């Protein structure tokens, strides 16, 4: 039973969110053949797509089951909603309205359960934008799946500078970005929203994926209120570009010129000789 928040309340909420400590760097694997992906380098523009654009159909679909709460929790939930929608009512009137609503529209009824699941999934897809990165630079599957069969690039983000940007410039503009690691699970979970505080319940289902995706070592930056939005980041946050081991000479030359112009370090990925893996050599420009 999610609710729309105002930008002002979102800024206040930012101060109370529980953030994990970011690693020193995170990485974004991209193809260099697609203009919209080139914009990350050419225009410092990062894109926060909605979950509907992801390649995993289960992504961000784990529902919050409000029907799993006890009698008191569910009744208090109805009270909270009625107070929000009808602030003019007295305390007794709110309780009476909550009792009537619970009697006529009980969220524990099977039809209501499915309705709330559908609402919550639609909410997740239309409320949040998600910028996905990896904590790994050397995963050969990531290079294959997201960097055009090793013909693309991997972009390194300086997390200290990125976090400073999020906590200053973004907050001033009412852009609230939360980050956390993806939680990989073997079984499809059941989430009781009453087990979490209000902030966690917003993001919990956005961070659960099948164990099959664990190799991605994914970390997500979640943008509240603005799905499918691009944000321009300052120079310096992107501080290294790793060229795939199969990159074309044309694209390599183009990226070398870009690296010179934007003062971004360049590294070349090469195949290890005696094992399945990659080595990385700095390119002197």
User: What is the three-state SS of 111-167?
Assistant: HHHHHHHHHHHHHHHHHEEEEEEECCCCCHHHHHHHCCCCCCEEEEEEHHHHHHHHH
* Domain range list for the chain: 7-63+122-282
Distance in angstroms (rounded) separating the CA atoms of residues 136 and 82: 47
The contacts of residue 171 (CB under 8 Å, 6+ apart) are: 11, 14
The alpha carbon dihedral of 231, 235, 241, 247 has a sign of positive
Predicted local confidence at residue 34, as pLDDT: 81
Distance in angstroms (rounded) separating the CA atoms of residues 198 and 17: 10
- In order of 82, 98, 111, 113, the CA distances from 116 in angstroms are 17, 18, 9, 5
- Other C-beta atoms closer than 10 Å to the C-beta of 212 total 11
Would you call 71 exposed, middle or buried from its count of C-beta atoms within 10 A (0-12, 13-18, 19+)? exposed
Distance in angstroms (rounded) separating the CA atoms of residues 85 and 245: 58
Q: What is the pTM (predicted TM-score) of this model?
A: 0.87
Distance in angstroms (rounded) separating the CA atoms of residues 195 and 14: 20
Q: What is the pLDDT along the chain (285 residues), one digit of tens a residue?
A: 555 444 444 454 555 566 789 999 999 999 998 888 899 999 999 999 998 889 898 898 888 888 888 889 888 988 988 998 899 999 999 999 989 988 888 888 888 888 888 888 888 888 899 999 999 999 999 999 999 999 999 999 999 999 999 999 999 999 999 999 999 999 988 888 888 776 677 788 899 999 999 999 999 999 998 999 999 999 999 999 999 999 999 999 999 999 999 999 999 999 999 999 999 999 987
Structural tokens at position 143: 């290079």
- Other C-beta atoms closer than 10 Å to the C-beta of 84 total 9
Q: Give yes or no for a contact between 177 and 202, defined as CB atoms under 8 angstroms apart.
A: no
């Amino acid at each position: 039973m999610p609710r729309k928040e105002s930008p002002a309340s979102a800024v206040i909420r930012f101060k109370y969110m529980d953030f994990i400590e970011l690693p020193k760097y995170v990485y974004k694997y991209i193809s260099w053949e697609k203009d919209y992906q080139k914009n990350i380098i050419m225009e410092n523009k990062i894109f926060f797509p909605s979950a509907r654009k992801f390649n995993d159909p289960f992504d961000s679909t784990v529902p919050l089951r409000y029907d799993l709460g006890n009698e008191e929790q569910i009744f208090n939930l109805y009270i909270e909603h009625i107070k929000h929608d009808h602030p003019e009512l007295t305390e007794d009137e709110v309780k009476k309205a909550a009792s009537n609503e619970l009697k006529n529209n009980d969220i524990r009824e099977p039809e209501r359960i499915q309705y709330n699941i559908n609402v919550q999934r639609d909410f997740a897809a239309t409320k949040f934008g998600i910028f996905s990165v990896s904590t790994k630079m050397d995963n050969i599957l990531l290079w294959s799946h997201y960097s055009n069969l090793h013909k693309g690039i991997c972009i390194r983000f300086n997390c200290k500078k990125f976090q400073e940007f999020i906590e200053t410039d973004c907050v001033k503009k009412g852009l609230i970005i939360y980050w956390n690691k993806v939680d990989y699970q073997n079984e499809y979970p059941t989430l009781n929203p009453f087990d979490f505080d209000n902030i966690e319940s917003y993001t919990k289902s956005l961070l659960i994926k099948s164990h099959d995706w664990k190799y991605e070592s994914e970390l997500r930056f979640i943008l509240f209120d603005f799905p499918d939005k691009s944000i321009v980041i300052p120079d310096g946050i992107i501080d290294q570009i790793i060229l795939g081991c199969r990159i074309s000479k044309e694209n390599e030359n183009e990226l070398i010129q870009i690296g010179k112009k934007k003062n971004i370090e360049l590294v070349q990925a090469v195949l290890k000789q005696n094992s399945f893996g990659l080595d990385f050599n700095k390119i002197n420009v």
